Amino acid sequence: MWVQKEKLTLAQASRFAGMNRIAFQHLLASRQISVHYGVEDFEQDIKNLRAMGRL
């Protein structure tokens, strides 16, 4: 609910749930809960992937 109402970011909510972000996204999708994935989230994902050497 907090993700849907944009009270928490996806990253914050996944940490709160004790799950990695991808697993958390799969959980939300399995429950048909939409997430708000904006430019800031995308840029952070790119930064993280580069830091991990995956981009």
Q: Which residue stretches of 1-55 are H helix? A: 10-17, 21-30, 39-51
Residue 11: predicted pLDDT: 83
> Would the pLDDT of 12 be above 80?
yes
* Residue 9 binned pLDDT confidence (cut-offs 50, 70, 90): confident
Residue 34: predicted pLDDT: 79
**Each residue's pLDDT tens digit, 22-52:** 899 899 889 998 777 778 878 988 998 999 9
- Determine the Cα–Cα distance for residues 14 and 35; give it in Å rounded to an integer: 12
Residue 50: predicted pLDDT: 95
